[in-house]
Amino acid sequence: MTDEAKELIQSTVNETILKLKVAGFMKDSTKTAQQKTEELLRSYQAFTLSGDPAAEKMIQRIEMSLQVIKNDPYYDVIIMYYIEGRTREDIADLFNASVTTISRNKSRLISRISAVLFAEDYILQLYT
């Protein structure tokens, strides 16, 4: 491998790490898979606006993980809460359900998404 190729690789790695830190994905390794998933979902709109190739990959990962839950009756809770920024109370009114029901199903779906997005963290979390 040429020195030029090594420099290009190192530059790309450094840039990627910086972007992940700025996005908040590398600042705290003690976060659970669910916490990381929630951060990623909250960042979805920012990713769509950035036009950055790394952001495009994150968008694809998020959309792939959402496919896992797309047939769930509470799927829209995830979209409304994390992407649209609606409150649990507003969502509960729309679903004609209690806030507790919305929260419980939101947590259940986040666990399923986490298993896709952060499989290793999710598995470690289950057994530690």
pLDDT tens digits, one per residue of 85-121: 999 999 999 999 999 999 999 999 999 999 888 876 6
What parts of the chain have a pLDDT lower than 70? 14, 17-18, 21-29, 120-128
φ, ψ dihedrals at 73, nearest 5°: -60, -20
Q: How far is residue 27's CA from residue 101's CA, in Å, rounded to a whole number?
A: 32
pLDDT computed for residue 23 by the predictor: 65
- Whether the CB-CB separation of 26 and 40 falls below 8 Å is answered with no
pTM of the model: 0.71
Residue 95: in which H helix or E strand, if any?
helix 88-95
